[in-house]
């Protein structure tokens, strides 16, 4: 098997499987009316979609020479900009945003190695994930990493119009490896990274990236 199912998907997959089996049983009991066949096929497609959503491909994560910031999520780079970051840095930072469609792998990974020095969950709205205000108004979770060289990077998981649950495994004080698992966002969303230092941006808007593999920026 080239993928496995993430632990966050067990409940959702169980419900989808139960629905599929129930409709299948009703279809058999009711002598296979055509409209029940349609319902059963729809439930089968739903089950397959949920399994696909919670898949985690088995990947080899490369080692990198030098200090790099890796993509924290699979998806598409939708924004690279200089912005004011009011929560932690309270100043101008570079922001790189990665949007995840429902078809993307939704596990999130740390963009660099370091120590978790800040972790805060914020309830909020459910604007579409590409909305310019979603980073500040939507349900979100912010995690700040501090590298051994003293550089700090904020990773922000942002819920979207479909996503209704953000899972974060970060704990303040723990040491984490680059590309190790940060968390999971269910059913489509976005992850932003913010940093206040100089770095050569490698990523470009519109680029498709993979978490823990694609380089977003090279730190000086």
Residues annotated catalytic, as ranges:
189
Whether 194 contacts 217, CB under 8 Å:
no
Distances (CA, A) of 111 to 26, 50, 72, 160: 48, 27, 5, 21
Distances (CA, A) of 144 to 22, 115, 137, 198: 45, 8, 19, 17
Our CA angle for 73, 188, 183, nearest 5°, is 45
Residue 13 has what DSSP assignment?
Answer: H
Burial 166-197 (b: 16+ CB within 10 A, else e): bbbebeeeeebebbebbbbbbbbbbbbbbbbe
């Amino acid at each position: 098997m080239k993928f496995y199912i993430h632990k966050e998907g067990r409940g959702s997959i169980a419900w989808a499987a139960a629905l599929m089996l129930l409709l299948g049983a009703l279809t058999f009991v009711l002598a296979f009316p055509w409209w029940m066949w349609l319902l059963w096929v729809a439930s089968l497609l739903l089950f397959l979609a949920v399994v696909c959503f919670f898949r985690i491909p088995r990947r080899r994560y490369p080692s990198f020479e030098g200090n790099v910031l890796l993509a924290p999520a699979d998806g598409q780079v939708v924004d690279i900009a200089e912005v004011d970051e009011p929560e932690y840095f309270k100043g101008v930072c570079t922001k790189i945003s990665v949007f995840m469609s429902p078809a993307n792998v939704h596990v999130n990974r740390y963009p660099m190695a370091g120590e978790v020095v800040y972790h805060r969950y914020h309830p909020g709205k459910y604007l579409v994930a590409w909305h310019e205000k979603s980073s500040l108004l939507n349900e979100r979770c912010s995690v700040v990493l501090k590298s051994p060289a003293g550089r700090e990077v904020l990773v922000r998981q942002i819920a979207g119009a479909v996503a209704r649950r953000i899972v974060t495994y970060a704990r303040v004080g723990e040491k984490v490896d680059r590309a190790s698992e940060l968390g999971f966002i269910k059913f489509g969303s976005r992850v932003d990274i913010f940093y206040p230092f100089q770095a050569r941006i490698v990523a470009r808007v519109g680029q498709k990236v993979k978490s823990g593999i694609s380089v977003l920026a090279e730190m000086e």
